Each structure stands twice: as C-alpha cells, then as structure tokens.
A and B are shown apart, each in its own frame.
Chain A
C-alpha cells in the first residue's frame, strides 16, 4: 500500500545552498541523461571515438610496423592528447548545436510552462541545464581518455611502452574543460539574449570561423577560447613547457563562462523567484566578469610591460655600446645544475684582456638578468663592486684599472634561471618574430627560447647564460657587436642520469654522490658557448675528420639498428659528406667533434630585426627539435624504398637501400627541405668560416653561408642522386626559379613575390641592401641575389683562388672582423681577375640579364679513330641589359659536361662541345637572371656524318639588338586578348571560359616557357599579337606550336598588314615544337603589325608565340 506523499502547504522551505545544489544536480543529471539519448550526442561520440580509436590504433600499428621497442610512434603519450586536440574542432560545432537546444527542448516538448512553474530558482534551472551539457561532454572526453588508456595498456603489455596519459589529462584539464564551459555558456547567453536559436547558433559558428581563419593567435590569444592556435606541444623532454600564460588565458575563459551563465540566468524569460537568488546571480556575474577583465588586463599589461622592459633593456644597452670592451681569452666554468629555484649555479673565472691603449676601469659584460651575480672577485683586489641591470654586468675597477695589454682574472659567481626575454633583444615583437614551424594548429612553435630546470637544459649562446664582453644589443647595423673568441674549461656537476653537451671535449668524467661530474676543454678559440643537458642516450662515431655524436631522448631514434650490418658503408657517406663540405667551402671542419642534440619540440627561433639568426646552430653543436628525430622510421623507410626499387626495376640490394635511407636521413637533418619548413639552417657550413672569423657584413655573412649551403646541396645531389633528369639544384635555386611549390613557398617565407623582389633589385645594388621593417624584404633580396653573385664570383676567379682567398682569411686574420671590402680585397690578392669591376657590376650595380637557348644541335663526326664524336652546338642569348654568366650543362646519355659562359648585354654566343656520348639535352643554369623555370632544350642530332676532328670552342654570334627576326611571345606586352571573358559575360549568350595559361618547357619562351589555351568558341575571344616592325618591308610570319599538345587542326588568323586585312588558315600537325608559316605580308614600320588568332573551331586552341622574319624591303 503506497502512502501518499504530501507537499507542504504555505510553509515554503527556506533557501539553502544544499537544496539549490540538489536542484542543480537533478536538472543536470536529467539533462545529461536526455542528451545521452539524442542522436546528436552519439554522432559526437562516434566522431570522437573514431578520432581516439584511429589515433591509438594508428600509432600502435605504426609503432608495431616500425618495430619500435618502446611502442611509440611519435612523442610518448602524444596519441591520446592529439586525438583530443583534433576532436576539439568537431566538439566545438557539436557544443554549439547541443547547447543551442537550451530552451528549445522544453519549448518543442511543450514543457516549458510545467518546468518553469516548479519551485527551483531560475539560477538552479539554467545552471543545472548548463552543467548537464558540460557534464555529458566532459564524460565523453573522459571516455575517450579511457579508450586511450586501454590502448596504452595494450601498448604497455605487448609493446613495452610506458603508461603515460599525462599529456591527454593535462590537455583535458587545461583546454577541453574550459573550452566546453565557455562555448556552452556563450550559446546559452546568446539564446537568452536574442531568443533566436538560429542566430544564437550562427554567431558562435562565425566566431569559431573567425578564430580559425582570421584572428588566430592575435590579441594575445584572448579570442582563441579553444586554444586551437595556442603553442601547445607535448615534449618528451619538458612536457607542455611554459604554460603559465596559457593557464591565465584558460582562467579568463572559465570566468567569462561564469559571467555568461549569470547573464543567461538574469535574462532568462521566467518570473523571478527569489530576490536573494537574483542578487547573488548579479554579484557572481559581476565578480566573474571583473575577474576575467582583470586577468585579461593583467596579462595584457604584462605583455606591454614586457615589451617596455625589453625596450628599456635595449635602450640601456645602447648607451653602453661605445664603452671600451675588453676581451675574454679564456673561460673557466664551474657549473652546477640542480632541480631547485636556482637550477643553474655558475662560478666562472674569466681571463680578461685589455686590447685598448688606455686603462679600463669598468668591465662590462652581457649576462642574462635572471642570473643574479652573487660575488665578483678581481685578481689581486678581492671583491669588487658590481652593478647588474638590464642584462648587463658592470664591474667597477675604480681602485685598480686594468692596464693596456694586461690579462687579469675576474671571478664571477651567479645563479638563477634564464629570462627568455633577454634572448636576442633586437628581435621582432613576439607576434611577428615567432617562426611557425609549419602552418598553424598544433604545429606552431612554442615560446620557449631557452629552458632550464635542472635536468633538462637548453641554453643557446644567445640566451646570455654566460658573461660576454660588452653590451649584447643596441649596436648599429653597420657596426655590429664584435665576436669574442675564447677558449674554455667546463667543470659541470649535474644529476647522474643527465648527459651534458658543450663545445668542449670531455677530458674526464666521474659519478659521485648521485652527481655526474665532468670536465670539458675547449682548446680552439670559439665565439659562442652553448649548454645542453638532458636524459639523453648517446651514439657516437669517430670519423677521420671529426667525431659525430648524436644525443637523443629514449625511444626517439627508432630502429637505428637497421643500419648496424651496413654501418661501415653508411658511415662512408658521412665521410663523403664531410668531403663535400670541405670541397664546397675549401676548408676542413674546424672542430674535433660535431654534436647533434635533441631539444624540446617547442624551441623557438626568434627572428632578429633583419633576419633569421641561426640560434640553434652553435660552434660544433647543432640543436634539433625532438620531433625531427622521433619521426624517422628507418625500418619502414627501408621497406618502402625496397618496394619502390623492385617496382622500378632498380637495384634492391639491402645494403644499397639502407645506405640510401641513411644518406637521405643525414641530408634531411643537415639539409632540411626548406621549401616546406622554416627551420633554421642546420647545416654545419656555418662552422667552417663563420665561427672562425667575425663576418660582420650581413650581405657577406648571409650570402656566403647560403653559397656554401647551396654548393653542398648541389654536390650532394650530384654525388648521391646522379640519376636525376635535370642538373642538381639547391633548394634556393628552386625558389629563385619560382615555379610550382616554390612560388607558394617564396610567398610564404618572405611575404612577397619574387617579381617584387627582383623589381627592387633592379633599383638597389646588393651591397646597398639594408634591412628595414621586419627585414623580410632584406632577407628575400639577399637570399635571391647574394648567393648567386658569390657563385658567379667564384666562377670568375676560379674555385681554387676563391677558396684560397677564404682560407687566407682564417689563417691570416683569424678571429678578426671581416667586412665585404676585406673579403673582396683578399680574393683579389689571389687571382688576376678584376674583382673590383665584378663587384662594381654585381655588388654595386643592378645588372639583370635574361637568357634563352636559341639553338641546340649536334653533328656526328667520324674522327678516324674508330670512334664517333658529337659536336654539340648551342647558342645562348642574353636578351637583356646587364652582363652575366651562366653555366651551360650538356647532358648526354651517360655524362654531364658543364661550361661557363659570360654573356654581355644582348649578346648571343655559340658553344661547341665535343662528346663521344649521344647528347640528349642542354640546360642553361643562370646564376642570377629573370628567367623562370628550367632553361632546357633537347639536342637535335643531325644524321649527316662529318669527317675530321671537331673543335671545342665558343664565339659570339651577334648582338640581337639589330635583329630583323623577332618574336612576340604570349608573355610579352604585345600579346593580349582584345575581348575578355568578363566583358563577353555581360552580353548573353556567353561562353565564359577565358584563355588559360600553362607553363611547359616545350613552349616558346624567353624566360618563361608557356602558352595560352582555351576551348574553341564562336570567335568572340581572339588572341592578338601586336608589334611594330623595325623596318618597312615584307615579312614572313610564323606561329609557334608547342609539341604533343592536343589541339584542333585548323587555325584561323587575321593579319592586319600594310595593304589591308588578310585572312589565313593553317593546319599545324606534328609531334614536336615548331614554327608553322602563316605567309608573307608587307608591314609598315609606322603602323602596328597585328595578327589575330580566332578561337573559332573545335577542340583546344593554343596561342604561344608569333615570329616576324624580314624577307625584303619595300
């Protein structure tokens, strides 16, 4: 028997938090339950589950396929959090639609009146519904983490992985929960405010779209509620890294969510139940909003203050730039790394040298301001006064100034952390100076410029972790800070599981008291010292030139043992690589060791005001981000290469395949594909000269480095990949050629077009290029022109003389400052070519030639020695103002012959080259020209057999200025379409397809090889060539047809000649590119000569070039 329950009558239960909480939880539970029973939710769950499943299964399978003993595919624990990250995009949209049903659900169910006449407060009602949605989504995300956990358990059991879900849990707490809270609150608020579900859904969708596609991480990330663009990377070395700002941003969104929920309650269309509840809601809303604003303002002001401090530092350091600088000849470091508030403790004895003719009473050193100087002792004088401000340490020697030429010892003790803001003070602001790794999303570089926590230490020299003479910043462009070359001794005390990497050679090492103690010596004067430490595994191999060490995090260098059976063969390639470096630079690698050390994924490369400084490349040490190591899958790559080789009928011998994989890996590290990545130059070419002399001139410094880099890259292509069809090009060659991906890459890298850069270079000589603004134009100009010009110079003076000159800089002026004039002067002393006139033309002038191959033929010769020789005749033309040089490469079936050729303005030269191999094609490689794409032509071999001995020669044919045989190409100004598709579009019936452009090497071109085409129409869209003939008379006109193009058979042309308008029809057929004669027509030099190609007919119409050939006079 049921006993009826009766509600109290007129004895309202007093308001209590507990009762409110009960209401909220009830409503939330019901809301959640109803959500669980909606298709929307299960669609969301299916998508999320799919992401997680794919991430876990994919990475598991990948790690099994890779045979990785640690069971990891990427960085440890990345699979789970990366699944959550990608799911967050989908979740955003689903939240909007799920939360968009707030109110609508009751209205549709006709339950709103019933529910709102219940005794709970509006706050209870709204909060309950809000938490119901949030709770359901949180549970869903937790379920995904659970799936990840199950996957990881399998990995632990079967693959030996570590159980690490921390990244996913951290991401969930830091990003997912605040995102759900905010977006659901925003939708609730909009629905209460606007009372229109559609608008309340559309607005947040638009907001998300704006974040993803426009705003991104602008406004300090305070619009990016979902952290879609936040620099969130999980690193095996340092976890999520510096996330303080991110946590403040998350707190901001949580508080904003709270304020929005309060706003929703207040705006909710229900009669107020309790004044107290309303007041409380108002107060909570106001407090939350105020707190959010305070956080935003605080973070904003911290940013502003940081910028101000930065500027103050810079200004302060500028004041000290002219203070006489001492030199440090030797550093004697005693470094302790520990996990504490002061993770770095250093005592350093400096051998200070006064190079000035007068005494010095203040010793000025740049030192990161977060490292507090504790003690300073001056030899013989005991403690001395020290002023430390703005990342400068001034040691006052008032009582005992340093005598001219004296060498004394200064002992400095300092400790602390490293302030990342002291890192490259002349860098661009953060929003412009940060180098994205690749696009956006999860792959944006983090904001870590230096890292130190006692166990993992990443201190590039530029972080100012050790004292260097003089102010670090504030120096004028023309007189940058001189480098200080010094030797050093490092005594390092670190946790025993930590490997330490410096410029030094390890002299001794021992473990005592749980600490690893090591002594390193740097015997060669070195301009910069870096410090790396971490729980690394070390692989090393001694080569004749140097010892190469790789320091990597556990589990990152996957399956490297696949090379063990071919180690010697593989390592020969490293030796070869060193040889190529030596050949390209003309000098040996200067250090006894080259260390490649993994650094956290987030490591940021700041952009200086005038370019990317190579901060991850230190003398003898190259820091490489950990993902670059972790993504190497040797076993899988070997299998793929083997499969490809078999498919293509190539040699699939295991040792050969493994060697190829090894070579590509090594090259991938030293020569990353710069079209795709904006990483710094990893190549050690900088070590060869830049760390041994102080190359002060930025054009020289950057240009020389690029020249070596490109030279090595081309040589590598030639050496390791000789089967390529065209000649070896460097990455920058491809950029300069500006075709395909290169155009996109150029635009992305320099934020400008190659043509714009070339236009500026026609006005400004290379030597006068000066950085301004963010320096992108400066970098583009130097990158486009400097390296080719130095290549040209090397070609002119000869490689041997060039290298001798450079080597003499090291031997005769070691560790000294070298300017552009010093460099040119040194080169002049080693050869007879007029370097000054070359410099006048190419460094101080604006020459800008353009080249084309006019003719490429070969004749067969019977030399009488039982051998057929081929005399290849090639005509190359420089059709522009500006003297230039090109390399002409003759490709035969088995060989490649290269010749250098100088071509002055408008000059055409013919080269004859003898080869016994069947010539295939010829390619012109300009150093610096206005050409785009390949300049290449197949060689036509004549069938007639000549007798005798052909000669190898070169001679000038003519100046094309006087030519009466000229061409109007589709790229020229004289080619145009008299009626555009757009104008035709306005007059129906319209055929809106316009002429399209395509590049093709078989097309005619001066510097750009391509043609136009369109589908035949009714003759409404003709193509027209218009020119002025140089002399009145009869001309033969011909139309150029690219080869092998599907096209229509009849071409209808209209010719406006001197004697009136003529019509002609031609029937071009054939499989090769050729000129099709149209006829002979008289043209008057005072009237335009016009030929118009109709688009009438069937099939594709092609328009390429039209040639006028003078036949006779009037």
Chain B
C-alpha cells in the first residue's frame, strides 16, 4: 500500500489556502500527521477520504488517482472522521452490519466481519445494546470498528483521541497499533503522545505546509541542540519567553525551572536537554512561523 501525495493545494475562496503544495509518500504502517489546530490536517484527511477535491495536485493510492477513480479508493478505505456519531436507533451490531453491507461484504461473511470488528475494539459484549447508551470512548471505538470492518487496506483516522480520558487514549493507541499490520493507517492528531508511541513515519503540518516528513528519530535529530533548560528569575523568564518557545515551566519559591526550545538566551545559564517528540513538534512548528 502506497499513498503518494504530490503538490497538493486546497484553496477556499481565492485566498484561503488550507493546503499549500503538500507532497507526501505514505507506506504501510502507522503514519502520523501532526500539526496544530488549523494546520490543514482534516482537509488533507478529507481529500484522502474522497470527501473533498484538491484545488491542485494529485493523490495516488497504490497508483490510483483518487480524483478520477473514487469508487476504487472507497472500496479500500476505512475512515474515522474527527467528529463521529452514530444512528441512535441502531445497536452496535446493526450499525456495523449496515456499514459492512455498504462495504460490500457478502451477506454470508457479514456477521463474522461484524463480530470480528466488535471483538477487535472490545465491544463484543455490548454489541446488541443501542448505540445511544454507549460512552464517548465506546463510540470512538465503534468508530474504529466501522472503519476497520472488512479489513480495509487504507485507514484514515482523524483526531481519534480528542476528548478521551488517558486510559481510553492508551487503549485506543494500542488498538490502532494492533490493527496496523499490512495496512496503511493515517493518524491525524495534534496530540504528540498519540504519534510518539505508535508511528514509524510522520509528517508535521503547519499552516498548510509540510514542515517535516520522516521518522520520529530524524525529527528528534533535527531538534537536538535546540532544547534547553534553565533556572531563572521572573525577569529572566520574560527574556526566555520572548526569545524561545517555552515547553514547560515549574515555579519554585524564588525561581522557575524552564524547558524551552530555540536558541539559548545569551548571558543566562542554560543547559542542553535531550529532545523528545513534543519538543521537536514545538520546535518545528515554531520554525515554520
């Protein structure tokens, strides 16, 4: 499975560019699409899910142009949008059976596929309950189930962990990791933790542009030497904040322990730190500005 995005533009109106010349190559496995709110992640997801057309550029899914052969792409696609709801009148099983039928799964195999999907997301026991009785996390899991039913080879998951509690988030990540074998999963998020623990490849979008594309280690490499810590007074903190992107700040009695990315402030005692993915994300998005 290979998704090739070339020089993709999406413009709303005449001046609002949601995507600017985005080019990406996505292969099998988990692909993280990281970026702040408004970076263009959802637009890119929608284009990949054949829900929107690009203003320019090309997207190929295993060599198939999604602009001209949407039917073929939709047949291989599982999609969990950022905002996902359910038909309140249906039970989980019924809903998945409906989706399975729409995914063209033969009637004979439909029941098994539904059961498998429910088991995968841990909803097998509550499958017969009306969906309106599910918790938020269960609904998101049901969303994953509808996306993975029939084992699609391309799975697009847009901001799946928003609003979930930490336990549910971890569970969700593990779930994605479990199903990522032999398929391309594009995970869009602005929560770095979701990516760091699951993705082998990622792209960082900022203001509609790809500011980084590669594996997390390379992202960390690029950030190395730009992450600093210091213990400073209130006045010094102002100088740090003005010059660097503050990552964390621990306020103590007389001073603040600050972790920041960027170039160190001259004259202030700062010591380098080993970057993590969050530092890298902050550094790269700051750089893009």
List residues of chain A with CB under 8 Å of any chain B CB: 2-13, 15, 19, 22-23, 26-27, 30, 33-34, 37-38, 105, 108-111, 113-121, 270-274
Contact = CB atoms under 8 A, between A and B. Distances in A.
Interface of B: 1, 46, 49-53, 61-64, 69-72, 74-77, 79-81, 83-90, 94, 98-99, 101-105, 109, 112-113, 115-116, 119, 143, 146-147, 150-153
A26 B72 CA distance: 20
Contacts of A105: 87
Contact of A119 (B102, B112, B153): B102
Contacts of A116: 51
A281 to B, nearest CB: 15
A118 B50 CA distance: 10
Contacts of A27: 102
A133 to B, nearest CB: 14
A115 B74 CA distance: 11
Nearest to B47: A271
Contacts of A118: 74, 99, 102-103
Contacts of A272: 70
A258 to B, nearest CB: 24
Contacts of B143: 114
A26 B105 contact: no
A26 B146 contact: no
B102 A10 contact: no
B102 A9 contact: no
Contact of B52 (A5, A7, A271): A271
A120 B71 CA distance: 8
Contact of A114 (B75, B84, B105, B151): B84
Contacts of B69: 12
Contacts of B76: 7-10
A274 B53 CA distance: 15
Contacts of B151: 4-7
Given A7-B153, A12-B75, A114-B79, A34 B116 contact: no
A280 B113 CA distance: 33
Given A19-B104, A272-B70, A117 B50 contact: yes
Nearest to A115: B102
Contacts of A120: 102
B146 A114 contact: yes
Contacts of B119: 2
Contacts of B146: 114
B85 A111 contact: yes
B105 A10 contact: no
A297 B81 CA distance: 49
A109 B51 contact: no
A2 B115 contact: yes
A113 B51 contact: yes
A1076 B151 CA distance: 101
A34 B81 contact: no
B151 to A, nearest CB: 4
Contacts of B113: 4-5
B61 A273 contact: no
Contact of B81 (A6, A7, A110): A110
Given A118-B99, A118-B102, A119-B103, A12 B72 contact: yes
Nearest to B61: A10
B112 A10 contact: no
Contacts of A6: 150-151, 153
A109 B70 contact: no
A271 B50 contact: yes
A109 B62 contact: no
B75 A110 contact: no
Contacts of A33: 89-90, 94
Given A7-B103, A13-B104, A270-B51, 15 more contacts: A2-B115, A7-B152, A8-B76, A11-B72, A30-B98, A109-B85, A110-B84, A111-B85, A114-B81, A119-B74, A119-B104, A271-B50, A271-B70, A273-B70, A274-B71
A113 B102 contact: no
A117 B104 contact: no
A109 B87 CA distance: 6
Contacts of A117: 49-51, 74, 77, 79
Given A34-B89, A117-B51, A9 B103 contact: no
A119 B147 CA distance: 13
A34 B116 CA distance: 24
Contacts of B115: 2
B119 to A, nearest CB: 7
16 contacts: A5-B113, A7-B103, A7-B152, A8-B75, A10-B62, A12-B75, A30-B94, A30-B101, A33-B89, A33-B90, A37-B89, A113-B51, A113-B79, A117-B74, A120-B102, A271-B70
Nearest to B152: A7
Nearest to B68: A275
Contacts of B104: 7, 13, 19, 119
Contacts of B94: 30, 33
A274 B64 CA distance: 14
A5 B109 contact: yes
Nearest to A27: B102
Nearest to A120: B102
A1056 B72 CA distance: 98
A113 B81 contact: yes
B84 A23 contact: no
A23 B71 CA distance: 14
B184 to A, nearest CB: 10
A988 B1 CA distance: 81
